[in-house]
């Protein structure tokens, strides 16, 4: 939503960028030669953080986007006080996905004991705080990256 809140300013960015990965495009793989900028939102909650590592290796500049990714904020507040087994049982009970005490986990990475900030798993070049980060901060960050500056 913050991207849309840029209003007309997003046009100046759109003329200089190519969106290559994410929920707004069909492509779900990074180009082989990498990308200039990756904004990663959300805390890390699973034992294998392959997507975070893939983002970090593909990006010249990795941004921890928002309070959930930077200090793990809200996800950590509620998630870290609940043991993993109890959390899974509560979720399954609420979704009525199972009437037994077992559930399928094939192919799904195990949950970490706690939600953790992105910086604990990969090198983060910049953090943009906020829930969500303000549109102006995202715009300024993108302009600096497009101009070849990290800060």
The residue ranges of every structural domain in the chain are 4-78+113-146
Q: Give the residue, 97 or 124, on which the prediction is more confident.
A: 124
CATH number belonging to domain 4-78+113-146: 3.40.50.700
Query: Model confidence over 22-46: pLDDT tens digits?
Result: 766 666 677 888 888 888 888 888 8
Confidence at residue 70, expressed as pLDDT on a 0 to 100 scale: 85
Query: Model confidence over 67-92: pLDDT tens digits?
Result: 988 888 888 888 888 888 888 777 76
Q: Give the residue, 120 or 91, on which the prediction is more confident.
A: 120
CA of 120: how far to CAs of 3, 69, 82, 132, 151, in Å? 26, 10, 20, 21, 21
Using omega within 30 degrees of 0 as the cis cutoff, is the peptide bond preceding 132 cis?
yes
């Amino acid at each position: 939503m913050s991207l849309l809140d840029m209003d007309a300013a997003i046009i100046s960015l759109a003329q200089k960028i190519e969106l290559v990965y994410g929920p707004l495009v069909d492509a779900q793989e990074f180009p082989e030669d990498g990308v200039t900028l990756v904004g990663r939102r959300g805390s890390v909650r699973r034992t294998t953080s392959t997507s975070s590592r893939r983002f970090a290796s593909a990006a010249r500049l990795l941004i921890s986007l928002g309070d959930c990714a930077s200090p793990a904020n809200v996800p950590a507040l509620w998630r870290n006080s609940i043991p993993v087994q109890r959390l899974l049982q509560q979720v399954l009970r609420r979704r009525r996905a199972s009437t037994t005490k077992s559930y399928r986990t094939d192919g799904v990475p195990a949950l970490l004991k706690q939600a953790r900030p992105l910086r604990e798993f990969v090198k983060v070049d910049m953090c943009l705080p906020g829930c969500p980060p303000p549109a102006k901060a995202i715009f300024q960050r993108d302009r600096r990256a497009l101009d070849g500056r990290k800060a």
